[in-house]
Amino acid sequence: MSYQVSEVSGAAIVALTGDVDLQTSPTVRQKLLETLEKHKRVVVDLSAVDYIDSSGVASLVEAFQVSRKKGSSFALASVSAAAMRVLSLARLDKVFTIHPSVEAALAPQG
Amino acid sequence: MQDQLRMLSEMTREFTASHDYKTVVHSALARITKYLGAEAAALFLLSDTGDTLACSACVGPVDITGLIISAKTGVVGRTVQKREGTLVRDVRLDADFGAAVDSKTGFTTRSLLVAPLSIGKDCLGAIEIINRVGGDGLFSADDLVLLETLSRAAALAINNFRLTEKIVQRERETHELELAAEIQRDLLPQPLGREFPVHGINIPARSVSGDFYDILVLPDGRIWFNVGDVSGKGMNAALLMAKTSSLFRCLAKSAEHPGQLLNAINNELCETNSRGMFVTMVGGLFNPANGHLSLTNAGHEPPLHFDPRTERFTAIPADGPPLGIGQGIAGPDGYPVTEFDLAGGMLYVFSDGLTEATTFGGGMLGIDGARALIREHAEESPEIRLKSISGAVKLPGQSLRDDLTLLVVEDMASAHGPSMPVPSADAKSTDGEIMRIRVPARPDRLKLIRAAVEQASKYCGAGEAWTFDLIMAVDESCQNVIRHAYGGRPEAGDIVIDFLRRGDAMEVHIMDFADPVDPSKVKSRDLSDVRPGGLGVHLIKSVCDEANFVPPPPGVGNLFKLTKRLPSNIK
Residue B419: burial class (beta carbons within 10 Å; 0-12, 13-18, 19+): exposed
How confident is the model over B362-386, as pLDDT tens digits?
Answer: 677 778 888 888 888 887 888 888 8
Task: Give chain A positions within 8 Å (CB) of B527.
Answer: 90-91
Residue B397's pLDDT is 62
Residue B198 lies in a domain: yes
Residue ranges making up the domain that contains B55: 2-163
The DSSP result for B239-250, as a single string, is HHHHHHHHHHHH
Residue B519's pLDDT is 62
Name the residue among B247, B277, B282 with its Cα closest to residue B265: B247
Relative orientation angle of helices B535-543 and A54-70, to the nearest 10 degrees? 130
**Is the minimum CB–CB distance between A55 and chain B shorter than 8 Å?**
yes
B452 and B544 assigned to the same domain: yes
- Over 70: is that where the pLDDT of B207 sits? no
Which of A15-29, B514-528, B551-565 bottoms out in mean pLDDT, i.e. has the lowest? B514-528
Instruction: Give residue B359's pLDDT band: very low, low, confident or very high (50, 70, 90).
Output: low
- Phi, psi values for residue B91, rounded to 5°: -65, -25
| Euclidean distance between CA atoms B477 and B471, whole angstroms | 10
B404 and B439 assigned to the same domain: no
Q: State whether A22 and B533 contact (CB < 8 Å).
A: no
Q: Which CATH number fits the domain that encloses residue B350?
A: 3.60.40.10
What mean pLDDT is reported for chain B? 83
- Over 70: is that where the pLDDT of A109 sits? no
Interval B78-96 mean pLDDT: 87
| Straight-line distance from the first to the last Cα atom of chain A, in angstroms, rounded to the nearest whole number | 34
Interval B185-189 mean pLDDT: 80
- Over 90: is that where the pLDDT of B26 sits? no
Name the residue among B419, B262, B287, B437 with its Cα closest to residue B347: B287
B15 and B118 assigned to the same domain: yes
Residue B152's pLDDT is 87
Residue B400's pLDDT is 67
Interval B259-265 mean pLDDT: 93
Residue B524 lies in a domain: yes
Interval B67-92 mean pLDDT: 89
Please name the member of B465, B475, B535 whose beta carbon is closest to the beta carbon of A21: B475
Does residue B557 contact residue B513 with C-beta atoms inside 8 Å? yes
Query: DSSP code of B320?
Result: B
Does residue B300 contact residue B229 with C-beta atoms inside 8 Å? yes
Q: Which residue has the higher pLDDT, B404 or A42?
A: A42
Q: Which CATH number fits the domain that encloses residue B7?
A: 3.30.450.40
Residue A38's contacts (CB-CB under 8 Å, 6 or more residues apart) are A12
B127 and B71 assigned to the same domain: yes
- Over 50: is that where the pLDDT of A40 sits? yes
Residue B211's contacts (CB-CB under 8 Å, 6 or more residues apart) are B202, B204, B227, B228, B229, B230, B241, B351, B353, B403, B404, B405
- Over 50: is that where the pLDDT of B162 sits? yes
Count of CA atoms in the C-beta half-sphere (13 A) of B473: 29
Residue A33's contacts (CB-CB under 8 Å, 6 or more residues apart) are A62, A63, A66
Q: State whether A53 and B447 contact (CB < 8 Å).
A: no
Q: State whether B472 and A61 contact (CB < 8 Å).
A: no
Domain count, chain B: 3
Task: Give chain B positions within 8 Å (CB) of A2.
Answer: none
How confident is the model over B111-126, as pLDDT tens digits?
Answer: 899 999 998 888 999 9
| Euclidean distance between CA atoms B190 and B192, whole angstroms | 6
B232 and B372 assigned to the same domain: yes
**Is the minimum CB–CB distance between A65 and chain B shorter than 8 Å?**
yes
Residue B424 lies in a domain: no
How confident is the model over B298-312, as pLDDT tens digits?
Answer: 988 889 998 888 888
**Is the minimum CB–CB distance between B483 and chain A shorter than 8 Å?**
yes
B296 and B398 assigned to the same domain: yes
In chain A the domains, ranked by start, together with CATH numbers, are: 2-101 (3.30.750.24)
Please name the member of B471, B475, B539 whose beta carbon is closest to the beta carbon of A89: B539
B153 and B222 assigned to the same domain: no
Please name the member of B468, B476, B538 whose beta carbon is closest to the beta carbon of A82: B468
Residue B424's pLDDT is 42
CA distance A42 to chain B (A): 20
Residue B427's pLDDT is 44
- ipTM, two decimals, is 0.90
Domain boundary pick from B163, B197, B231: B163
Q: What is the CA radius of gyration of chain B?
A: 40
B389 and B441 assigned to the same domain: no
- Chain A residue at shortest CA distance from B472: A53
Task: Give chain B positions within 8 Å (CB) of A22.
Answer: 443, 446, 479, 482-483
Tell me if residue B302 falls in helix, strand or coil: coil
Q: State whether A86 and B533 contact (CB < 8 Å).
A: no
Residue B360's pLDDT is 63
Interval B504-516 mean pLDDT: 91
Which of A33-47, B7-21, B408-422, B521-535 bottoms out in mean pLDDT, i.e. has the lowest? B521-535
**Is the minimum CB–CB distance between B447 and chain A shorter than 8 Å?**
yes
SS3 track for B350-385: ECHHHHCCECCCCCECHHHHHHHHHHHCCCCCHHHH
Residue A67's pLDDT is 92
**Is the minimum CB–CB distance between A84 and chain B shorter than 8 Å?**
no
Please name the member of A22, A54, A82 whose beta carbon is closest to the beta carbon of B535: A54
| Euclidean distance between CA atoms B352 and B406, whole angstroms | 10
Residue A12's contacts (CB-CB under 8 Å, 6 or more residues apart) are A5, A6, A35, A38, A39, A41, A42, A43
Tell me if residue B541 falls in helix, strand or coil: helix
Does residue B515 contact residue B532 with C-beta atoms inside 8 Å? no
- Over 90: is that where the pLDDT of B499 sits? yes
Residue B456: burial class (beta carbons within 10 Å; 0-12, 13-18, 19+): buried
| Straight-line distance from the first to the last Cα atom of chain B, in angstroms, rounded to the nearest whole number | 124
Residue B256's contacts (CB-CB under 8 Å, 6 or more residues apart) are none
Q: What is the CA radius of gyration of chain A?
A: 12
Which of B194-198, B417-421, B445-449 bottoms out in mean pLDDT, i.e. has the lowest? B417-421
Residue B529's pLDDT is 41
Residue B497's pLDDT is 95
Q: State whether A58 and B542 contact (CB < 8 Å).
A: no
Please name the member of B465, B472, B543 whose beta carbon is closest to the beta carbon of A53: B472
Instruction: Give residue B422's pLDDT band: very low, low, confident or very high (50, 70, 90).
Output: very low
B364 and B483 assigned to the same domain: no
Tell me if residue B80 falls in helix, strand or coil: helix
Please name the member of A53, A59, A85 whose beta carbon is closest to the beta carbon of B479: A53
pLDDT over 70 for what percent of chain B? Answer: 88
Interval B505-516 mean pLDDT: 91
Tell me if residue A76 falls in helix, strand or coil: strand
pLDDT over 70 for what percent of chain A? Answer: 98
B232 and B375 assigned to the same domain: yes
Residue B46 lies in a domain: yes
| Euclidean distance between CA atoms B263 and B320, whole angstroms | 10
| Euclidean distance between CA atoms B508 and B520, whole angstroms | 21
Q: State whether A58 and B533 contact (CB < 8 Å).
A: yes
Count of CA atoms in the C-beta half-sphere (13 A) of B171: 6
Position B68, amino acid: I
Cα separations in angstroms, A9 against A43, A73, A106:
12, 14, 8
B308 and B357 assigned to the same domain: yes
| Strands laid side by side in the B404-410 sheet | B198-203, B404-410, B346-350, B304-307, B312-315
Instruction: Give residue A19's pLDDT band: very low, low, confident or very high (50, 70, 90).
Output: very high
B297 and B399 assigned to the same domain: yes
Does residue B303 contact residue B295 with C-beta atoms inside 8 Å? yes
Residue B567: burial class (beta carbons within 10 Å; 0-12, 13-18, 19+): middle
Name the residue among A30, A24, A25, A109 with its Cα closest to residue A75: A109
Residue B177 lies in a domain: no
Residue B233's pLDDT is 66
Residue B429's pLDDT is 57
- Over 80: is that where the pLDDT of B18 sits? no
- Over 50: is that where the pLDDT of B421 sits? no
- Over 90: is that where the pLDDT of A36 sits? yes
Instruction: Give residue B222's pLDDT band: very low, low, confident or very high (50, 70, 90).
Output: very high
| Euclidean distance between CA atoms B227 and B386, whole angstroms | 14
Tell me if residue B412 falls in helix, strand or coil: helix
Residue B196 lies in a domain: yes
**Is the minimum CB–CB distance between B536 and chain A shorter than 8 Å?**
yes
Task: Give chain A positions within 8 Å (CB) of B536.
Answer: 53-54
Q: State whether B530 and A95 contact (CB < 8 Å).
A: yes
Residue B557's contacts (CB-CB under 8 Å, 6 or more residues apart) are B221, B289, B485, B511, B512, B513, B514, B515, B516
Q: Which CATH number fits the domain that encloses residue B447?
A: 3.30.565.10
Residue B175 lies in a domain: no
Residue A55: burial class (beta carbons within 10 Å; 0-12, 13-18, 19+): buried
Residue B176 lies in a domain: no
